[in-house]
Amino acid sequence: MPMGTRSTRPPQPTLEMVAADAGVSRATVSRVVNGSPKVRPEVVESVNAAIDRLNYVPNRAARSLASHQTQSVALVVPEDMTKFFGDPYFAAVVQGITNRLDESDYTLNLLVASSDPRHKTMRYLRSGNVDGALVISHHTGDDFVANLESTMPVVFGGRPTNHSGENNYFVDVDNIAGAISGVQHLIDLGRRRIGTITGPVDMPAGIDRLTGFHQALSQAGLEVAAIEHGDFTAAGAAAATRRLLANTPDIDALFVASDLMAVGTMGVLAEQGRMVPGDIAVVSFDDSPAATSGPISLTTVSQPSKEMGFTMADLLLRLLADDESVPHHNIMPTRLILRDSA
């Protein structure tokens, strides 16, 4: 290149250039870039086409300074790291969340907050690093999660247990109805000595699935054969199953509160020579990949975990866009999937 000359680069595409190309206002382009639900689908398509043609990249830093927003949201999981990465339920929910955020300009920060560093998590969240939060797998004692709502928009995965006011935003399934359908199936098979391995009873899902178990047996006029508490892990369920069989050897059916726990239960039943479903019929909950991972596929109550994550993220984006029509309580249906275990 001769001395005294400069390379000339094409100008960096701007929001105004995208607006001109798409034939819309600058404000409309901004709403599309920020994932606002208030833009008509055909306009969104037109703006996105202009963005692609011009190779427009939003200036996140400039927009953050101007709007006091980070364009980031947090997924807060008050859970042990091993449990989080070992449970397929979480993988499905996170996939749904990222699928929705991929349609917006927001990025996701994952904060797996076990019991020790929770004060660090709160400090991070309250320091303006994110615009809102999604919370899953919360327990009754997780008061720090409840306090988030005073500082930013929050959407819970599962009904909050600490504060059940009308102002909470959450996405859940009808865990009680789902458990009733699973236990009723065991009753319809002619099983009368029915026990359960529960989830943690300091979590909404564990509480509600145990409630459904009790209601189904009560409606059928049957006594509860046995209850042992699990922790939504295979190892915890295996230990609970051993205790249950030792105390109630004549049991003929089990409702296990998650597929992952049922994997542990099925292993113990095989060890002890109990045939499934001949000796003991088993119904679980989730319809995750764990339900079909073993030699005997599990009859299970299916919940739309991926769709739950997608809906959680969508509600949060709408809150961040000041959409006043966001529903507070969002309950999704379950359905029973019949396989080989019952």
| Both tokens assigned to 128 | 């303006």
Looking at the structure, tell me whether residues 77 and 191 fall in a common domain.
Answer: no
Q: How far apart are CA 79 and CA 293, in angstroms?
A: 24
Model confidence over 228-278: pLDDT tens digits? 999 999 999 999 999 999 999 999 999 999 999 999 999 999 999 999 999
Looking at the structure, tell me whether residues 92 and 182 fall in a common domain.
Answer: no
Say if 116 falls within a structural domain.
yes
Q: How far apart are CA 236 and CA 264, in angstroms?
A: 8
Say if 338 falls within a structural domain.
no
Looking at the structure, tell me whether residues 163 and 261 fall in a common domain.
Answer: no
Q: How far apart are CA 246 and CA 236, in angstroms?
A: 16
The count of domains in the chain is 3
Looking at the structure, tell me whether residues 210 and 284 fall in a common domain.
Answer: yes
Looking at the structure, tell me whether residues 163 and 278 fall in a common domain.
Answer: no
Q: How far apart are CA 259 and CA 272, in angstroms?
A: 20
Work out the number of other CB atoms within 10 angstroms of the CB of residue 200.
Answer: 19
Beta strands 170-173 and 329-332: pairing type?
A: parallel
pLDDT at 68: 56
Q: Are 82 and 49 in contact (CB under 8 A)?
A: no
Cα of first residue to Cα of last residue in the chain, in angstroms, is 77
Instruction: For the sheet with 194-198, list strands across it.
Output: 226-229, 194-198, 253-256, 281-286, 299-302, 335-337
Q: Does residue 297 register a pLDDT over 90?
A: yes
Could you list the residue range(s) of the whole structural domain that residue 158 is in?
Answer: 72-173+305-333
Looking at residues 328-333, what average pLDDT do you find? 92
Looking at the structure, tell me whether residues 198 and 276 fall in a common domain.
Answer: yes
Looking at residues 164-193, what average pLDDT do you find? 91
Q: How far apart are CA 261 and CA 339, in angstroms?
A: 17
Say if 5 falls within a structural domain.
no
Q: What is the CATH number of the domain that holds 153?
A: 3.40.50.2300
Looking at the structure, tell me whether residues 150 and 207 fall in a common domain.
Answer: no
Find, among 307, 115, 104, 162, the residue nearest to 149 by Cα.
162
Quick one: 166 exposed, middle or buried, by C-beta within 10 A (0-12, 13-18, 19+)? exposed
Q: Does residue 215 register a pLDDT over 90?
A: yes
pLDDT at 145: 66
